Amino acid sequence: MKFTINRSKFTKSLTDVLRAISSRTTIPVLTGVKMTIDQSGLMLSGSDSDISIEIFIPVSDEDNQLEVIKEGGIVLPARIFNEIVRKLSDEKLTIEVGDNFQTSITSAHAAFNINSIDVDNYPNFPVIDSNEVITLPTTLFKQVIQHTVIATSTQESRPILTGVNITIENGQLKAVATDSHRLSQRIIPITVPESLKDKSYKVIIPGKSLTELSKIIEDQDTIEMMVTQNQVLFKAENLYFYSRLLEGYYPDTNRLIPANSATELTINANDLLQATDRASLLSHEGKNNVIKLSISDNHVELSGNSPEIGTVEEELEYIEAKGDSLVISFNPDYLKDALRTFGHQNVIIGFTAPIRPFTVIPADDNTEISQSFIQLITPVRTY
């Protein structure tokens, strides 16, 4: 195997593939990055068994300055290989596999000679041979990911909750995540080909996989999704992103979302985020990470305290408050995560009772928009 390539272009693709590679794997060959090259181009592959990423660098794109001198393949130790490529000085990079799986990496006057692994030792990637291709709008799907992964669980005690539950049916994609303290749900319309109109798909994709995917996909118009029994493949131009699916039954979350509310507060999400951030300064210092929101006639106030440090109170500016007076306590970090997903939009916060979950939705006259996105937070009982 021998080729020359533009170093910047190569570095960019290598960085993306590295997202799938972990140094803490039980399978040593997976600490490496696999490279295979033929006359059409160079394929970089990386995997940690859960996520596998393949990126193709085509000869046909002249920006890559990819010149294939000899076809072949090799596995290089990923971390050090990445450091080497980054620290070279020339824009042109030559990689050549010599005897005994020794790979030379040369650029300007620097010549590295790195112990590598036979490409035949690298495990095969799952074969996803499906003609059921679901096309997703990239920008909207990235939003879905950002809006829901915040509510996935990070604890392995209930593995199913570390995933996002995605259901595709009737021309829409619904994504739900919950760690049992809070929940995020986002619905987007998608275009399904005639042949799949009557089909439905239910998959639970690990939150970590979706986070990595959202970092790696460029803002191209669409991304293709293909599902098998236990794998999902997201395919974009020159990118193949595989993730393992979580197996098991996802809890029924529909019943968790209250149908109506006794108190409604309309407020700017960013203003409330800043005030919650200030109130959490003191709650973070204490044992109970809890702040209090009080809504009464013409007065909405957020407060927090830490017995050692002191107290904070802040009267909030809001757009509208209606319904019953209410005092409710909750973990400020859950509210902060939820509010961040709304940016500078106005939101409606709906409360049923001080001990019942409350919801945050976009304040929009269009009910299709306001009902397509919901964040739900369980309060904390403080008596």
Could you list the residues that contact its own copies (CB under 8 A)? 77, 80, 83-84, 87-89, 102, 109-115, 274-275, 277-278, 281-282, 285, 308-317
Q: Which two tokens stand for residue 334?
A: 């859950």
Determine the longest span between alpha carbons in the chain, in angstroms.
81
Please answer whether residues 153 and 68 qualify as being in contact, where contact means their C-beta atoms are separated by less than 8 angstroms: no
We find the least distance from the C-beta atom of residue 157 to its own copies, in angstroms, to be 32
We find the least distance from the C-beta atom of residue 108 to its own copies, in angstroms, to be 8
Chain centroid, CA 45 distance in Å: 20
Query: Measuring CA to CA, how many Å separate 352 from each of 18, 196, 264?
Result: 46, 40, 9
We find the least distance from the C-beta atom of residue 76 to its own copies, in angstroms, to be 10
Please answer whether residues 359 and 349 qualify as being in contact, where contact means their C-beta atoms are separated by less than 8 angstroms: yes
The nearer residue to its own copies, 169 or 271, going by C-beta atoms, is 271
We find the least distance from the C-beta atom of residue 279 to its own copies, in angstroms, to be 9
CA-CA-CA-CA dihedral for 281, 349, 165, 215, to nearest 10:
-50
Please answer whether residues 327 and 254 qualify as being in contact, where contact means their C-beta atoms are separated by less than 8 angstroms: no
The nearer residue to its own copies, 102 or 195, going by C-beta atoms, is 102
We find the least distance from the C-beta atom of residue 343 to its own copies, in angstroms, to be 17
Please answer whether residues 200 and 167 qualify as being in contact, where contact means their C-beta atoms are separated by less than 8 angstroms: yes
We find the least distance from the C-beta atom of residue 18 to its own copies, in angstroms, to be 16
In this structure, the chain runs to a length of: 383
Query: Measuring CA to CA, how many Å separate 1 from each of 43, 62, 68, 72, 267?
Result: 13, 20, 8, 4, 61
We find the least distance from the C-beta atom of residue 273 to its own copies, in angstroms, to be 11
HEC per residue, 58-119:
ECCCHHHCCEEEECEEEEEEHHHHHHHHHHCCCCEEEEEECHHHEEEEEECCEEEEEECECH
H helix or E strand, kind and range, residue 340: helix 332-340
The nearer residue to its own copies, 133 or 281, going by C-beta atoms, is 281
Query: Measuring CA to CA, how many Å separate 235 from each of 55, 56, 224, 324, 335?
Result: 10, 12, 5, 50, 34
CA–CA separation, 252 and 277 (whole Å): 32
The nearer residue to its own copies, 69 or 80, going by C-beta atoms, is 80
The nearer residue to its own copies, 257 or 309, going by C-beta atoms, is 309
We find the least distance from the C-beta atom of residue 109 to its own copies, in angstroms, to be 5
The nearer residue to its own copies, 172 or 296, going by C-beta atoms, is 296
Please answer whether residues 95 and 34 qualify as being in contact, where contact means their C-beta atoms are separated by less than 8 angstroms: no
We find the least distance from the C-beta atom of residue 112 to its own copies, in angstroms, to be 5
The nearer residue to its own copies, 103 or 153, going by C-beta atoms, is 103
The nearer residue to its own copies, 73 or 77, going by C-beta atoms, is 77
The nearer residue to its own copies, 305 or 346, going by C-beta atoms, is 305
The nearer residue to its own copies, 248 or 307, going by C-beta atoms, is 307
Phi, psi of 370 (to 5 degrees): -65, -25
User: Which residues on adjacent β-strands are paired with residue 45?
Assistant: 34, 54
Q: Which two tokens stand for residue 124?
A: 């095969």
